[in-house]
Amino acid sequence: MPRPRLQPSDEQRRMVKTLSALGIPQKQIARQVGIRSDKTLRKHFREELDRGETEANTKVAQTLFGMAISGQHPAATFFWLSRSGWRDRRPFERTTIAPPPFVVAKEEVSSHGSS
């Protein structure tokens, strides 16, 4: 006898979207919702999976951007710039490096054949 067709509830949809936003793997989300397969999860909750992740990334990016432009979080500013390809390149400076000191070692010669 086939299983009854899944009819996602509003509560399940909210849960899937929230768990997706938090980065929980789909197999674990499926188990939490009471579905055996992550394939079935994707079939019935595709929009919630996609929107949850996108909305979470949007919120984090907005927070990071605010921190970056505030001037109070230099690490956030640098991170924001580095994700856009910006690099801190110092001008080339030619420096003269002294050669290492020359070392002379004296070898001892053994005299094995003279008696």
pLDDT (tens digit, 9 = 90+) per residue, 54-94?
999 999 999 999 999 998 999 998 888 888 787 777 767 77
The fraction of the chain above a pLDDT of 90, given in percent, is 59
The whole-number pLDDT of residue 115 equals 52
The whole-number pLDDT of residue 86 equals 79
Domain regions of the chain by residue span: 10-83
What distance lies between CA 66 and its chain's CA centroid?
A: 20
Banded model confidence at residue 114, pLDDT cuts 50, 70, 90: low
The whole-number pLDDT of residue 2 equals 74
Give the type of residue at 110: S
**What is the rounded (10 degree) CA torsion for 104, 110, 114, 115?**
130
Which residue blocks in the chain are alpha helix, DSSP H? 10-21, 26-33, 38-70, 74-83
Rounded CA gap, 84 and 93, in Å? 26
> Mean per-residue pLDDT for 36-64?
94
Across the chain, mean pLDDT equals 87
pLDDT (tens digit, 9 = 90+) per residue, 92-108?
777 777 777 777 777 78
The whole-number pLDDT of residue 113 equals 58
